[in-house]
């Protein structure tokens, strides 16, 4: 995947006057206590300790319904989706890697505001909801701090997306439940395409979005109505 992405980026920059950025893959375990430090260390070694755009898209997605929950499972979902996110931003902030006028984009889920498409998402929906207050707090803190001034933080509500993992790795029953329930009111028969999400992320990461801060932005074809 990293090689494919690097090739795509190189192709795009062939007609640009800008230097092509480096594309580097880093393997990190969301459940590891060293997750944040391992990411930060690679940023230090590869990108001279400087971060300008952070897209928090990684997630721990082991779905279980009520009746199958236990303390270890709940702990792992919280660790992989909340603690890892908080400690990554905390580490980058305390190390002063986040540059002024940077962008933080947290990929949340429309499931945090809608009826569950499957009972197994009960805890996942709850932890995705945690992204919104965190985003609002980071928006206030990062935009005002002298080390990161001008930085914006926003969250993106994403619905079912026809990504590789959704189409190839997800359980067929889960895919069918999501597509069946979400048919109709949203684009692409209820399932977005990866570029639909990437285009909105690109907008929020751009200079044009400097006046959008602390917001929850829908990128779900209208599944969750954000007012």
Q: Kindly state whether residue 212 falls inside one of the protein's structural domains.
A: yes
- Per-residue pLDDT tens listing for the chain (227 residues): 788 888 888 888 988 888 888 888 888 999 999 999 999 999 999 999 999 999 999 888 888 999 999 999 999 999 999 999 999 999 999 999 999 999 999 999 888 887 777 788 899 999 999 999 999 999 999 999 999 999 999 999 888 777 766 665 555 555 665 555 555 555 555 677 788 888 999 999 999 999 999 999 987 777 777 76
> What is the extent of the structural domain holding 129?
2-219
Q: What is the CATH number of the domain that holds 59?
A: 3.40.50.720
Q: Kindly state whether residue 224 falls inside one of the protein's structural domains.
A: no
Q: Kindly state whether residue 77 falls inside one of the protein's structural domains.
A: yes
Q: Kindly state whether residue 180 falls inside one of the protein's structural domains.
A: yes
Q: Kindly state whether residue 99 falls inside one of the protein's structural domains.
A: yes
Helix (H) or strand (E) holding 76: helix 71-78
Helix (H) or strand (E) holding 78: helix 71-78
Q: Kindly state whether residue 122 falls inside one of the protein's structural domains.
A: yes
Rounded CA separation 217/213 (Å)? 10
Q: Kindly state whether residue 225 falls inside one of the protein's structural domains.
A: no
Q: Kindly state whether residue 226 falls inside one of the protein's structural domains.
A: no
Cα-based distances in Å from 12 to 7, 85, 163, 194, 201? 9, 30, 21, 17, 17
Number of domains in the chain: 1
């Amino acid at each position: 995947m990293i090689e494919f992405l690097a090739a795509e980026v190189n192709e795009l920059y062939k007609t640009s006057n800008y230097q092509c950025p480096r594309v580097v893959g880093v393997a990190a375990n969301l459940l590891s206590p060293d997750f944040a430090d391992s990411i930060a260390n690679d940023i230090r070694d590869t990108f001279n300790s400087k971060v300008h755009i952070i897209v928090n898209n990684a997630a721990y997605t082991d779905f279980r319904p009520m009746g199958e929950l236990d303390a270890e499972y709940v702990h792992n979902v919280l660790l992989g989706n909340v603690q890892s996110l908080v400690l990554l931003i905390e580490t980058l902030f305390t190390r002063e890697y986040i540059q002024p006028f940077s962008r933080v984009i947290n990929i949340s889920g429309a499931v945090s505001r809608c009826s569950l498409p499957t009972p197994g998402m009960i805890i996942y929906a709850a932890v995705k909801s945690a992204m919104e207050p965190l985003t609002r707090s980071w928006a206030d803190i990062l935009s005002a701090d002298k080390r990161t001034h001008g930085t914006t933080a926003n969250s993106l509500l994403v619905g079912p997306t026809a990504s590789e993992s959704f189409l190839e790795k997800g359980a067929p029953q889960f895919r069918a439940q999501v597509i069946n329930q979400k048919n109709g009111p949203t684009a692409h028969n209820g399932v977005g395409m990866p570029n639909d999400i990437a285009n909105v992320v690109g907008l929020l990461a751009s200079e044009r979005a400097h006046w959008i801060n602390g917001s929850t932005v829908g990128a779900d074809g209208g599944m969750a109505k954000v007012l």
